[in-house]
Structure 1
Amino acid sequence: MDKKFKQIIILRKDLKMSLGKTCVQACHACLGACEKTNKKNFMHWQKQGQKKAIVKVENQDELFKLKKQANNMNLPNYLVSDAGLTELEHGTVTALAIGPAQEHEVDKITGDLSLL
């Protein structure tokens, strides 16, 4: 049986971003993590339909904890810091993507988070 791959995008609830801003931050996270994924895993993920979900955390501290866990497990991840051109101050950390990576590995970190 093939290994299943997925990506999880995690956004901060406390920032109260507009819908458009939220979508843009999720896209930045998705693309940034994809660039850090090895080619073989990326190709598997693409062939499987690019499974992904967007979940939420309460604040920046929770986002940093998840990033540390992803780093410790050697999972591709990308933390987004806003450029400060519209709604948020420059450098505001908004989102984190983990994966594409094996689904069971990503779930160890993000399996308990609620969907956005």
Structure 2
Amino acid sequence: MTSGKIAAQHATLACYKALMKTNPQLVQHWERIGQAKIALRVNSEDELLELEAIAKSLNLCARSILDAGRTQIAAGSRTVLGIGPAPVDLINQVTGHLKLL
């Protein structure tokens, strides 16, 4: 599994857990249509935080992940942002300009 796929799995779980409490119907729909996960690249932690704020302003589920610091990343560093599941057009308003990881 690539690093992008691993990151997507971690962030997906955070969003999944949050939405199971607030919108289980959306999660069930996402499960039925294939559970899409796309890993994209940002240039900095600040950019990641900005995208999280934009996603939340659009009422999207957005969860950033703090690294545990067990390998080469400092503990507490934000390394991944999960957004969704949500309609593609809404997610693209936040991430449409980013490149694949």
Structure 2 length normalisation: TM-score? 0.87
Cα deviation 1:28-70 (Å, max 9, x = unaligned): 2110011122201111111111122111011111101100001
Contact 1:25 1:80 in 2 (8 A): no
**Residues 47-62 of structure 1 mapped to structure 2, 5 A cutoff:** 47-62=32-47
Contact 2:7 2:39 in 1 (8 A): no
Structure 1 range deviating more: 74-83 or 22-31: 22-31
How far, CA to CA, are the matches of 1:100 and 1:42 in structure 2? 7
Q: Does 1:34 align with 2:19?
A: no
Percent of residue pairs identical = 35
Contact 2:54 2:94 in 1 (8 A): yes
**Residues 1-116 of structure 1 mapped to structure 2, 5 A cutoff:** 23-37=5-19, 38-116=23-101
How far, CA to CA, are the matches of 1:104 and 1:79 in structure 2? 21
Which consecutive aligned stretches of 4+ in structure 1 deviate over 6 angstroms post-superposition? none
* Equivalence for 1:10: none
Query: Can you give the 5+ residue segments of structure 1 that lack an aligned partner in the other structure?
Result: 1-18
- CA-based RMSD of the aligned residues comes to 1.7
How many residue pairs get aligned? The number is 98
- Are the structure 2 counterparts of residues 106 and 20 from structure 1 closer, same or farther at C-alpha, using a change threshold of 3 Å? closer
Contact 2:63 2:83 in 1 (8 A): yes
Richer in strand (by share): 1
Contact 1:55 1:114 in 2 (8 A): yes
Structure 1 length normalisation: TM-score? 0.77
Q: Which amino acid aligns with 2:52?
A: K
SS for the counterpart of 1:53 is coil
Q: Which amino acid aligns with 1:39?
A: P
How far, CA to CA, are the matches of 1:112 and 1:20 in structure 2? 22
